[in-house]
A and B are shown apart, each in its own frame.
Chain A
């Protein structure tokens, strides 16, 4: 079964999410992407 890994790093803090639930990882990734883009805008 495939495993999906999503990593975020800021300063010394590093977060790594991994799961075989592709939909879950996709949802979380979308949430972070949306927030980051909102911040950039």
Chain B
């Protein structure tokens, strides 16, 4: 009987799946294939998206004076908008989950984007951290009451809610 082994390494973490049936492994591989190809797609699209998000961020910053602490705490680049990498560095993230919340806060408050999809989040998160946010992290944030899920004709989107923002402000803000 054949043995199928799939090993996934990311930074210092490693997961290994051993199966006697290749179907499970093939399904897992398909997910990674989509993910790898997805990363390419969003990376290519990044410059276009960055421009529109930056424009949104500029108008948002003008309207929301309470967000002024960003410009004073984080070294500004690109017309005053810090990169996610800089934003994470200036915050007090202590694990992947807290960095995910920082990323969600960054998209909402710095870039002025109310909603995010897993794809748009990872298009920022992966280049900044080398890690990917997956559904387990979304699920944890949902269970802890930090994000809301919006499902409509545009698909599934997420939004960092007031509780999530408070978690950032209380625990993670630099």
Chain A residues near B (Cβ < 8 Å): 8, 10-21, 24, 27-28, 31-32, 35, 39
The yes or no answer to B39 lying at the interface (CB within 8 A) is: yes
Q: Tell me how many residues of B have a C-beta within 8 Å of chain A.
A: 25
Q: Can you name 22 A-B pairs with beta carbons within 8 Å?
A: A8-B36, A10-B36, A11-B39, A12-B10, A12-B131, A13-B10, A13-B36, A13-B132, A14-B10, A15-B7, A15-B9, A17-B4, A17-B7, A19-B2, A19-B5, A21-B2, A24-B4, A27-B26, A28-B26, A31-B29, A31-B30, A35-B37
Indicate whether B156 reaches chain A with its CB closer than 8 angstroms: no
Q: How far is the CA of A31 from the CA of B22 in the complex (A)?
A: 15
A20 vs chain B, min Cβ distance (A): 5
**Residues of chain B in range 26-77 having any CB-CB distance to chain A below 8 Å:** 26, 29-30, 32-33, 36-37, 39-40
Contact of B37 among A20, A28, A39 (CB under 8 A): A39
- Sorted nearest first, the 5 A-B pairs with minimum C-beta distance are A21-B2, A12-B130, A16-B7, A14-B9, A24-B22
Bound CA span A39–B34, Å: 12
Chain B residue at smallest Cβ distance from A8:
B36
Task: Looking at the assembled complex, report how far the CB atom of A30 sits from the nearest CB atom of chain B, in whole angstroms.
Answer: 12
> Chain B contacts of A19 at CB under 8 A?
2-5, 22, 25
Q: How far is the CA of A24 from the CA of B9 in the complex (A)?
A: 21
Residues of B within 8 A of A27 (CB): 26
Question: Please, how many angstroms separate the alpha-carbon atoms of A10 and B130 in the complex?
Answer: 10
* Neighbouring B residues of A39 by C-beta, 8 Å: 37, 40
- Taking a contact as CB atoms under 8 Å apart, the answer to whether A18 and B5 are in contact is yes
B126 interfacial contact with A, CB 8 Å:
yes
> Which residues from A are CB-within-8-Å of B32?
8, 13, 15
B4 touches A11 (CB 8 A): no
